[in-house]
Amino acid sequence: MAPLSVRDFEIHSENFSPKHQRRLVEALRHCLKQAPLFQPVTPRGTPMSVRMSAAGTYGWISDRTGYRYEPVHPSGQAWPAIPEVLLDMWRSLVPQARLPECCLINWYDETAKMGMHQDRDEADMTQPVVSVSLGDEALFRMGNQTRGGKTESIWLRSGDVVVMTGSARTAYHGIDRIRPNSSALLPNGGRINLTLRVVT
């Protein structure tokens, strides 16, 4: 896989073998029993095309009152712990960073996408963002710190891990589309994206 030329952006393909991906999916099933997927809406009330949940001390919420981190699921239930396999991966890839306080769990069906956006709701922008792809392939687009301008795209496959640090940490990025039936990992198809972040 040819890397993008964006500075401070890396893709790692060796972290999760198919066997480890299946184990991670099973761990996520336990997380979602405690904190089920929900349908977020934008502050304008428009439903997002992804469904989401989270693990860790905080979860990221989007609703009519805005974008923010909350210590509990919309049901009032505490978020489950981040699976240890993800914490081990974090320690291996970004050993200088503090441990993540949120693992955002996004579920994409074959029609879902994520518009170009920045991750800017965290207090310490020096900490990295690490993202894991599971299931169907997704066309990932990376820009820069300002909206518009040149972007680059690459297909993320199941097991790929994206690490964003430095200038890439606040760059605009998004998912343009999903490639249906490109992975057999999830019985009903689709894609799971796990994004680990330090919140405070």
Condensed to tens digits (0 to 9), the pLDDT of residues 127-150 reads 999 999 999 999 999 888 888 778
Condensed to tens digits (0 to 9), the pLDDT of residues 161-192 reads 999 998 888 889 899 999 999 999 999 999 99
DSSP 130: E
Condensed to tens digits (0 to 9), the pLDDT of residues 61-106 reads 999 998 999 999 999 999 999 999 999 999 999 999 999 999 999 9
Question: Where along the chain do its domains lie?
Answer: 9-197
Angle between helices 84-93 and 18-34 (to 10 degrees): 120
Give the residue from 26, 134, 135 showing the smallest Cα distance to 84.
26
Kindly report which listed range (13-17, 57-61, 122-126, 190-194) carries the lowest average pLDDT score: 13-17
Listed in sequence order, the residues at least 6 apart from 179 whose beta carbon sits closer than 8 Å to its beta carbon are: 136, 137, 138, 139, 155
The average pLDDT across 18-44 equals: 94
Q: What is the pTM of this model?
A: 0.92
Q: Looking at the predicted structure, is the pLDDT value of residue 15 above 80?
A: no
Bigger pLDDT: 57 vs 116:
57
Question: CA of 10: how far to CAs of 18, 40, 41, 166, 194, in Å?
Answer: 21, 29, 30, 11, 16
Query: What kind of architecture, by CATH, is found in domain 9-197?
Result: Sandwich (2.60)
